[in-house]
Amino acid sequence: MSRPSDYIDSRPELPDGGAPARNVPLNAVGWARWAWTQLTSMRTALVLLLLLAIAAVPGSLVPQRSSDPNGVSQYFVNNPQLAPVLDWFGMFEVYSSVWFSAIYILLFISLIGCVVPRAKHHWEAMRSQPPATPMRLDRLPGFVTLESTATSDETMAAAERALRTARYRVQRFDRDAPSLSAERGYIRETGNLVFHLSLVGVLVAVAFGGGFGYTGQRTVVSGQSFVNTLASYDSFNPGRWFHDGQLDPFSVRLDDLAVTYETENSAALGQPIDYLASVTVTEPDGSEEPRAIRVNDPLRTNGADIYLLGNGYAPTLTVRDPAGNVVFTDSVPFLPQDAKLTSLGVIKIPDGLASQIGMVGFFYPTQAEGANKAYYSAFPDLEYPMVTLNVFSGDLGLDAGKPTSVYQLDTSTMTQLNGRKVGTESIELRPGETEDLPNGLGTVTFDDARGANATTSDYTGSVKRFASLQIHHDPSRTWVLVFSLTALAGLLTSLFVARRRLWVKILDDGRRIELAGLARGDDPRLESAIADISRQLPSSRPTEGTVG
Amino acid sequence: MTLDELSLVALYSAMAVYALAFMAFAIDLARRSATVERELEYRTSASLRVGVSLTALAALLHFAAAMLRGFAAHRVPWANMYEFAMTGTLLIVSVFLVVIWVSKVDLRFLGTFITGLVLLFLGVASVNFYVAVVPLPPALQSAWLVIHVFVATSATGFFALGFALSVLQLLQSRRETAGTGPRFLATLPDAERLENFAYRINIVGFILWTFTLMAGAIWAERAWGRYWGWDTKEVWTFIIWTLFAGYIHARATRGWRGTRASWLAIVGFSAVIFNFTVVNLFFKGLHAYSGLS
């Protein structure tokens, strides 16, 4: 059996999808054979395809851990009752869940079970000659009769020439009358098989790439470098078969991150127009090379692809104790909260001051004051930058050994020392300014990135930027593309190349010519193809075009 | 008057002409019913030809509107919801006009559906989705915007035609078995031929959709750092692809060819519309380019 029994063009040899025939003993082999027939039937493949479509839906309704981990956390907060139930069903990891995997694995088994026998059959068909001409052509589609004006041999020669020019495989038969049996479009089935096998290729390549690849994120402040080692990633998602040795120790220094904003179109003021990260790549052998990373234009180096996925400001803050000794100085990435880059950051100082302190800060690249006296940023570029800081003292929780995020401060066990909530002003600093910390703890300075004594009439360049880089390695990406392209080529061939059989028969000692065809699969041009051939035969029947 | 304002004027004019074309096509359908009722033979009515001419005229105005919008923005006119709707409907009409031009079979009876659909979308788009011209965000600054989105919207044009044919096929096969349904059906091709047309048009859509999916993956690899990440729009692109793959399978499966297969084409096009409207507007994801907030 070359095709599943419920394929539309196959003869219904088996009871349509039925259980094993009654006379076959219902032993394990019988059932296994029955189950295999069921699994590889067209109907099963169809149902699995539709199930796959339905199973993909929930992943678009509920946030997924793979693409939106924060959304999942938020979902748990908003729906504390429902979320654990959904989680049990794998709704937050739909595409790696057991049920989703089960569907596509069954689908692919069904596909292989269907395609392999077909490939074998097709291989044999391609090497065999077209089947004998049917006894009667007049019941077949596109049947025409012509009056011949030449001898039998001349007609046969003309017909064979016409058919071969139209790329038919031709075989002569002389059973009841001289006839030609021709077939074309074997490549339709080849395309179909290539398409299906390419899908298997895509699946295998994707699995391979996921297994040996890795994805990591790293935030780099301009002027800083990151070395491609496990320890330097902020977060790292390795594939199942990843090992440390895969990481080439190249490094990337962010020299500058230039952002261009729209300043003229009033409907889009402040919309980013271009991001350009200028970097220096240091190869494992020590050679340096200046490169650039843009959105839509990643940096590809040492088998890794480096993407610019986010950016923001990293104000440089320095904290001194009352004696003037520096206890903290760093450029701290503040995470953007809106399109105008109002940003939120956290500074933790566990040592060096009278008590542990944490500071929650807002950064406004262009600080403005709203009606309710609240500050906001009016423009994402550095027009009038300001940092505001609220200071908390108490236990930072760093000694408990629990992992904590550098972007979050748990203030539940801390005392707020300043800010609106406790009735005092927040610390407000522009680049270059210094203020006292509350309770005589020391001072805090917002360092100007251009150095001390820089002008305050133009703040351009006064605050460093940071870039969120994603570093991705996928060893099989090219194979996924190659298999996708062969799938597309196979699909085009299998849907648009017509496969048909054509017969030419000479009757009445060469006076009469009969033609007929049979489409195998969808073939809108069967009749015009027969007309084309008949026009090239020596016949007296008036036909349009030239008669050859 | 700015280019964008001119574009709006052209678009409103196109909508007015589409409305006239819709009426002409509707009159043709009424005429078909009338001839069937009087047991006369239907001959192509003048209103059908008027409908096609008006549709072509409206498409020209529509094309001018899209071009002007593109000139106003200095880029391709399909970077937000309003522009997708404008260019997408233009492609639906273009596919319709090309198909009736190329096809040996008279498919002009689909005019009512096509002009009605386009009018509906343009109405919603110009009233609810309109946004002023803004520059492209960096993620959209890519040649793939031209290719990926254009091919996706062309696929939508073919799926729309296929959808209409499949709906007619269902009505026709009900008429053939139960004798019910609008009378004009008697002047249309029989259910099997409608199914064959629907299939031929839908497979073109399917090829374009496959290409859309692949081009999208290549672009996503450059812009987002992975070629496939089950973003909501990717999920729906996949669902639509799977539905139409199912449709093509159904056509080759005994017991599914005919009515059941055509339902899959109908569900598939509904998913395309769902993807364009509900997913764009209400689902969270990386394809957040509606330009609406």
Q: Which residues pair with A254 in a beta bridge?
A: A279
Separation of alpha carbons A179 and A503, rounded Å = 7
| Of the candidates A354, A374, A356, the residue with the CA atom closest to the CA atom of residue A419 | A374
How far is CA B104 from its chain centroid?
21
pLDDT of residue A17: 44
B72 at interface of A, judged by CB pairs closer than 8 A = no
> pLDDT tens for residues A515-538?
999 988 778 888 888 988 988 888
Return the beta strands (E) in A222-372 as ranges. 225-227, 235-238, 251-261, 272-282, 288-294, 299-301, 304-314, 316-320, 326-331, 335-336, 343-349, 357-364, 367-369
pLDDT of residue B39: 83
Q: At CA A31, angle to CA A27 and CA A32, rounded to 5?
A: 115
pLDDT of residue A540: 67
In the three-class reduction of DSSP (H, G, I as helix; E, B as strand; rest coil), residue B21 is classed as helix
Instruction: Check whether A1 has a pLDDT greater than 70.
Output: no
User: Mind giving me the DSSP string for A98-134?
Assistant: HHHHHHHHHHHHHHHHHHHHHHHHHHHHHHSPPPPPP
| Of the candidates A346, A225, A299, A344, the residue with the CA atom closest to the CA atom of residue A472 | A299
- Over chain A, what is the mean pLDDT? 88
Q: At CA A247, angle to CA A212 and CA A281, rounded to 5?
A: 130
Q: Do B196 and A298 touch (CB under 8 A)?
A: no
In the three-class reduction of DSSP (H, G, I as helix; E, B as strand; rest coil), residue A241 is classed as coil
Q: Do B254 and A12 touch (CB under 8 A)?
A: yes
Separation of alpha carbons A300 and A210, rounded Å = 18
pLDDT of residue A544: 38
pLDDT of residue A548: 30
Return the beta strands (E) in B18-131 as ranges. none
Instruction: Check whether B274 has a pLDDT greater than 50.
Output: yes
- Over chain B, what is the mean pLDDT? 91
From residue B260, give the alpha-carbon distance in Å to each of A84, A354, B60: 38, 77, 38
Which of A9, A56, A272 has the CB atom closest to B138's CB atom?
A: A272
Q: Is the ipTM here above 0.95?
A: no
Are A268 and A214 in contact by the 8 Å Cβ rule? The answer is no
> pLDDT tens for residues B156-191?
999 999 999 999 999 999 999 998 888 899 889 999
> Which of the two residues, A42 and B97, has the higher pLDDT score?
B97
Q: Enter the pTM of the model.
A: 0.90
Residues of B in Cβ contact (< 8 Å) with A52 = 242
> pLDDT tens for residues A285-342?
999 999 999 989 999 998 899 999 889 999 999 999 999 999 999 999 999 999 899 9
Q: Do B250 and A470 touch (CB under 8 A)?
A: no
pLDDT of residue A14: 43
Band of the pLDDT at B43, cuts 50, 70, 90?
Answer: confident
Instruction: Check whether B291 has a pLDDT greater than 70.
Output: no
pLDDT of residue A24: 58
Are A380 and A339 in contact by the 8 Å Cβ rule? The answer is yes
How far is CA B35 from its chain centroid?
30
Phi and psi torsions of A71, nearest 5° = -60, -35
Residue from A60, A68, A114 whose CB has the most chain B CBs within 10 Å, to mutate:
A60
Q: Do A295 and B141 touch (CB under 8 A)?
A: yes
Q: Which residues pair with A272 in a beta bridge?
A: A261
Band of the pLDDT at A53, cuts 50, 70, 90?
Answer: very high
Phi and psi torsions of A362, nearest 5° = -110, 140
Phi and psi torsions of B42, nearest 5° = -75, 130
| Of the candidates A54, A128, A137, the residue with the CA atom closest to the CA atom of residue A516 | A137
Residue from B102, B224, B234, B269 whose CB has the most chain A CBs within 10 Å, to mutate:
B224
Instruction: Check whether A40 has a pLDDT greater than 90.
Output: no
The proportion of chain A whose per-residue pLDDT surpasses 90, expressed as a percent, equals 58
| Of the candidates A212, A206, A246, the residue with the CA atom closest to the CA atom of residue A96 | A206
B 105-144 → A contacts, CB under 8 A: 131-135, 137-139, 141-142
Q: Which residues pair with A443 in a beta bridge?
A: A320, A436
> pLDDT tens for residues A68-78?
888 898 999 99
pLDDT of residue A18: 46
> pLDDT tens for residues B218-252?
999 998 888 998 988 999 999 999 999 999 999 98
In angstroms, the separation between the Cα of residue A305 and the nearest Cα of chain B is 8
The count of C-alpha atoms lying within 13 angstroms of the C-alpha of A423, restricted to the half-sphere facing its C-beta, is: 0
pLDDT of residue B293: 58
Residue written as token pair 């003229």: A264
Q: Do A95 and B230 touch (CB under 8 A)?
A: yes
User: What is the rounded average pLDDT of the residues A33-50?
Assistant: 89
Instruction: Check whether B86 has a pLDDT greater than 60.
Output: yes
Separation of alpha carbons A522 and B20, rounded Å = 37
Q: Which residues contact A125 (CB under 8 A, 6 or more apart)?
A: A186, A189
B 251-270 → A contacts, CB under 8 A: 251-257, 264
Q: Which residues pair with A504 in a beta bridge?
A: A180, A515
Q: Is the dihedral of CA A532, A536, A537, A538 positive or negative?
A: positive
Q: Which residues contact B187 (CB under 8 A, 6 or more apart)?
A: B32, B35, B36, B42, B109
Separation of alpha carbons B165 and B192, rounded Å = 11
Segment among A12-21, A538-547, B52-61 with least mean pLDDT: A12-21
From residue B93, give the alpha-carbon distance in Å to each of A44, B35, B96, B156: 37, 28, 5, 11
Separation of alpha carbons A513 and A350, rounded Å = 100
Q: Do B255 and A59 touch (CB under 8 A)?
A: no
Separation of alpha carbons B271 and B275, rounded Å = 6
Instruction: Check whether B22 has a pLDDT greater than 80.
Output: yes
Q: Do B221 and A477 touch (CB under 8 A)?
A: yes
Residues of B in Cβ contact (< 8 Å) with A56 = 235, 238-239, 242
User: Mind giving me the DSSP string for A12-60?
Assistant: --S-TT-SSPTTS--SHHHHHHHHHHHHTSHHHHHHHHHHHHHHHSHHH
Chain B residue whose CA is closest to A298: B222
Which of B138, B243, B264 has the CB atom closest to A296's CB atom?
A: B138
Are A421 and A427 in contact by the 8 Å Cβ rule? The answer is no
Are B275 and B240 in contact by the 8 Å Cβ rule? The answer is yes
Q: Which residues contact A539 (CB under 8 A, 6 or more apart)?
A: A146, A147, A148, A149, A513, A547
- Helix (H) / strand (E) element for A219: namely strand A214-221
> pLDDT tens for residues A224-282?
999 999 989 988 989 999 988 888 889 999 999 999 999 888 888 888 999 999 999 99
Band of the pLDDT at B285, cuts 50, 70, 90?
Answer: confident
pLDDT of residue A423: 82
From residue A351, give the alpha-carbon distance in Å to each of A359, A398, A414, B72: 14, 11, 16, 58
Separation of alpha carbons A528 and A495, rounded Å = 18
User: What is the rounded average pLDDT of the residues A116-121?
Assistant: 92
From residue A345, give the alpha-carbon distance in Å to each of A65, A317, A388: 24, 11, 10
Instruction: Check whether A141 has a pLDDT greater than 90.
Output: no
Are A66 and A59 in contact by the 8 Å Cβ rule? The answer is no
Residue from A296, A471, A491 whose CB has the most chain B CBs within 10 Å, to mutate:
A296
Residue written as token pair 């539905």: B243
Band of the pLDDT at A509, cuts 50, 70, 90?
Answer: confident
